[in-house]
Amino acid sequence: MTPANPVFCAIDTADLAKAQAIVRAVAGTVGGIKLGLEFFAANGPEGVTKVVPAGLPLFLDLKLHDIPNTVAGAVRAVARLQPMLLTIHAAGGPAMMRAALQAADAASAAGKRRPKLLGVTVLTSLDEGDLAALGQRGPVGEQVRRLALLARDSGLDGVVCAPQEVAALRELLGSDFLLVVPGIRPAGAASADQKRVMGPRAAMQAGADYLVVGRPIIEAPHPSAAAQAILDELR
């Protein structure tokens, strides 16, 4: 399934009815829907099936991070939801990523859609001060590059990265490696708790494949119009 456009709307809520209303409003405009940990913890797999209609690409952003066997089991469990994209933490290491990849391949062999696995590099809410507090020295970009290369070498399909890292990663990783980019803020939108943000057009020009946009769409008075404005910005 190929999204109609590169914009995935992030539904960041635990409220099932609110999520359904937002999806109904934007389904004809955005390329796909991203559901994350907050929604999944509150509503589970059944909630996903109630929110995302058949035919609309699903980005399941669970950021799995555990021992390899547990992550592989989680990938097998969510494969029945047919997500197009699924996230795991690259910091979980190569054995964990390879186990997740094997589970994804097994789902495909069983007739389910094989989710494209994305490694999460450095969260867009973190800056160099945050990394220093975690004992990781050096610029954010260096840690992102290390984790992105590890994800690629472990067989993953792509990574999630901040907009400012897209150009360097595209040059480093080539054209076939997916770059999925949160921290997108259209003209006039507040940054909120995101510390590394960029406009949608600039991110695509830098080499992004897909853009993840949440609050600028879902908190707008008219979510569909807000999503359309982002597409207009891209054009």
Q: Which residues are catalytic?
A: 63
133, two tokens: 């507090």
